[in-house]
Structure 1
Amino acid sequence: MKLPLVLGSGAVALAQQVYIPANGSSSLPQCSLDQTYATALPSYSFREFSFTQTETVRTATSIPAPTATPTYAPNYSELSSLVPSLTTTHWGNWNPASNSTPTDSGSPYGNASWSALWDAIPWVNFTRGIYSTTVQPTPVPTSELVLPPPEPFNAQICYTFPKDFILGVAASAVQIEGAVADEGRTPVHMDALSLLNPTIADNFVANENYYLYKQDIERIASMGVRYYRFSIPWSRILPFVLPGTPVNEQGLAHYDDLINFVLEKGMLPAIVLHHSDTPLEFYTNISDIGITPGTGGIGYGDSCYQCTYKNVSFEDAFVNYGKVVMTHYADRVPIWWTFNEPLLGARNGQSIDAVIKAHARLYHFYRSEIKGTGKISLTFNDNFGVPRNPSNPADVDAANHFNAFQLATFANPIFLGQDYPEAYKSSVADYVPFTAEDLAYINGTADFFSIQPYTATVVSPPPDNTIADCAANITHPLRPYCVTQSTTTTTGWNIGYASQSYVYITPSYFRTYLNYLYNTFRAPVAVTEFGFPVFGEAEKKQSDQEFDSPRSLYYQSYLSEGLKAMWEDGVEWIGAFAWSWADNWEFGDYDAHFGIQTVNRATQARRYKKSFFELVDFVESRRQGG
Structure 2
Amino acid sequence: MGINIIIIIIISLLPLFLLISILGGTDGVDNRCDFPSDFIFGSGTTAFQVEGAAKEDGRTPSIWDTFVQSGQQTGDTDVGCNQYHKYKEDVKLMADVGLEAYRFSISWSRLIPNGRGPLNPKGLEYYNNLINELLLHGIQPHITLYNYDLPQALEDEYGGWISPKIVEDFSAYAEVCFREFGDRVLYWTTVNEPNVFVLGGYDLGFLPPERCSFPFGRNKNCSKGNSTTEPYLAMHHSLLAHASAADLYRTKFKKDKQHGHIGISIYGISLAPSTNSKEDVHVAQIAKQFFYDWVLHPLMTGDYSNLMKKIVGSKLPIFTKDEANLVKGSYDFIGITYYGDMSCKYMPNNWSVEYRDVYADLQIQMGFLSITERSLTSAKSLKGVLQYLMQEFGNPPVIIYENGFETERNSSLQDVARVKYMMEHIQVVFDALRNGSNMNGYFTWSFIDVFELLTGYKTSYGLFYVDLDDPNRKRYSKFSAKWYSNFLKGKTSTSLDSDAATKLLFYS
Which band: TM-score by shorter chain? Answer: 0.7 to 0.9
Conservation of the 8 A alpha-carbon contact between 1:155 and 1:557:
no
CA distance in 2, matches of 1:179, 1:457: 37
* Counterpart in the other structure of 1:110: none
* Cα drift, residue 617 of structure 1: 3.5
* Cα drift, residue 464 of structure 1: 2.9
- Of 105, 109, 123, which residue of structure 2 is paired with 1:231? 105
- Of 372, 375, 383, which residue of structure 1 is paired with 2:261? 375
- Of 606, 610, 617, which residue of structure 1 is paired with 2:486? 617
* Cα drift, residue 344 of structure 1: 2.1
Q: Which has the larger radius of gyration?
A: 1
* Counterpart in the other structure of 2:78: 204
- Of 39, 45, 54, which residue of structure 2 is paired with 1:180? 54
Conservation of the 8 A alpha-carbon contact between 1:531 and 1:578:
yes
Conservation of the 8 A alpha-carbon contact between 1:584 and 1:593:
yes
| Structure 1 residues 552 and 448: CA distance shift in structure 2, 3 A | same
Letter in 1 for 2:43: V
- Of 170, 177, 184, which residue of structure 2 is paired with 1:318? 170
* Cα drift, residue 174 of structure 1: 0.6
* Counterpart in the other structure of 1:447: 332
* Cα drift, residue 547 of structure 1: 0.7
**SS at 1:505 equivalent:** coil
How do 1:470-485 and structure 2 match up within 5 A?
A: 474-475=355-356, 478-479=359-360, 481-482=362-363, 483-485=369-371
**SS at 1:385 equivalent:** strand
CA distance in 1, matches of 2:280, 2:97: 44
- Of 467, 470, 476, which residue of structure 2 is paired with 1:607? 476
| Structure 1 residues 425 and 378: CA distance shift in structure 2, 3 A | farther
**SS at 1:305 equivalent:** helix
* Cα drift, residue 207 of structure 1: 0.5
* Cα drift, residue 618 of structure 1: 3.6
* Cα drift, residue 479 of structure 1: 3.4
Structure 2 residue 409 is matched with structure 1 residue 538: yes
Q: What is the count of residue pairs matched by the alignment? A: 431
CA distance in 2, matches of 1:324, 1:216: 26
- Of 328, 339, 342, which residue of structure 1 is paired with 2:194? 342
CA distance in 2, matches of 1:328, 1:225: 24
| Structure 1 residues 474 and 555: CA distance shift in structure 2, 3 A | farther
How do 1:149-298 and structure 2 match up within 5 A?
A: 149=16, 151-152=19-20, 153=24, 156-158=27-29, 160-197=34-71, 200-242=74-116, 245-284=117-156
| Structure 1 residues 517 and 366: CA distance shift in structure 2, 3 A | same
* Counterpart in the other structure of 2:225: none
CA distance in 1, matches of 2:297, 2:482: 38
Between 190-199 and 394-403, the greater mean CA deviation after superposition:
190-199
CA distance in 1, matches of 2:319, 2:195: 18
CA distance in 2, matches of 1:539, 1:600: 9
* Counterpart in the other structure of 2:342: 457
- Of 447, 451, 474, which residue of structure 2 is paired with 1:585? 451
**SS at 1:607 equivalent:** strand
* Cα drift, residue 334 of structure 1: 0.9
How do 1:138-153 and structure 2 match up within 5 A?
A: 149=16, 151-152=19-20, 153=24
Between 352-361 and 261-270, the greater mean CA deviation after superposition:
352-361
* Cα drift, residue 420 of structure 1: 3.6
| Structure 1 residues 622 and 335: CA distance shift in structure 2, 3 A | farther
**SS at 2:319 equivalent:** coil
CA distance in 2, matches of 1:477, 1:332: 40
Letter in 1 for 2:461: F
| Structure 1 residues 474 and 406: CA distance shift in structure 2, 3 A | farther
- Of 288, 294, 307, which residue of structure 2 is paired with 1:422? 307
Conservation of the 8 A alpha-carbon contact between 1:409 and 1:424:
no
CA distance in 1, matches of 2:80, 2:380: 34
* Cα drift, residue 405 of structure 1: 1.1
**SS at 1:434 equivalent:** coil
* Cα drift, residue 548 of structure 1: 0.5
- Output one character per residue of 1:308-361: Cα deviation in whole Å (capped at 9) or x when no partner: 7xxxx1111111111011111111001000000112222322212211111111
CA distance in 1, matches of 2:357, 2:37: 49
**SS at 2:312 equivalent:** coil
* Cα drift, residue 203 of structure 1: 1.9
CA distance in 2, matches of 1:581, 1:479: 37
- Of 455, 462, 471, which residue of structure 2 is paired with 1:595? 462
* Cα drift, residue 452 of structure 1: 0.8
| Structure 1 residues 281 and 162: CA distance shift in structure 2, 3 A | same
- Of 355, 359, 364, which residue of structure 1 is paired with 2:247? 364
Structure 2 residue 160 is matched with structure 1 residue 304: yes
* Cα drift, residue 171 of structure 1: 0.5
Conservation of the 8 A alpha-carbon contact between 2:262 and 2:331:
yes
CA distance in 1, matches of 2:156, 2:241: 22
- Of 369, 379, 385, which residue of structure 2 is paired with 1:507? 379
Conservation of the 8 A alpha-carbon contact between 2:141 and 2:187:
yes
**SS at 2:42 equivalent:** strand
Between 200-209 and 271-280, the greater mean CA deviation after superposition:
200-209
- Output one character per residue of 1:526-584: Cα deviation in whole Å (capped at 9) or x when no partner: 111110112xx3253xxxx21111111111101112212221x3212211111100111
- Of 417, 431, 451, which residue of structure 2 is paired with 1:564? 431
**SS at 1:273 equivalent:** strand
* Counterpart in the other structure of 2:506: none
> Greater share of helix residues, 1 or 2?
2
**SS at 2:169 equivalent:** helix
CA distance in 2, matches of 1:193, 1:375: 33
| Structure 1 residues 463 and 182: CA distance shift in structure 2, 3 A | farther
Letter in 2 for 1:594: Y
* Cα drift, residue 364 of structure 1: 1.4
Conservation of the 8 A alpha-carbon contact between 1:161 and 1:563:
yes
**SS at 2:452 equivalent:** coil
Conservation of the 8 A alpha-carbon contact between 2:167 and 2:244:
no
* Cα drift, residue 616 of structure 1: 4.1
Letter in 2 for 1:558: H
* Cα drift, residue 149 of structure 1: 4.6
CA distance in 2, matches of 1:425, 1:620: 51
* Counterpart in the other structure of 1:547: 414
- Output one character per residue of 1:270-294: Cα deviation in whole Å (capped at 9) or x when no partner: 1000011001123349xx9xxxxxx
CA distance in 1, matches of 2:347, 2:193: 25
Structure 2 residue 211 is matched with structure 1 residue 333: no
CA distance in 1, matches of 2:122, 2:62: 18
CA distance in 2, matches of 1:620, 1:516: 32
Structure 1 residues not aligned, in runs of 5+? 1-50, 56-147, 289-302, 488-501
CA distance in 2, matches of 1:546, 1:439: 50
CA distance in 2, matches of 1:263, 1:179: 23
* Cα drift, residue 394 of structure 1: 1.0
| Structure 1 residues 423 and 597: CA distance shift in structure 2, 3 A | same
- Of 385, 395, 398, which residue of structure 2 is paired with 1:525? 398
Cα-Cα RMSD? 2.6
Conservation of the 8 A alpha-carbon contact between 2:269 and 2:385:
no
CA distance in 1, matches of 2:404, 2:306: 29
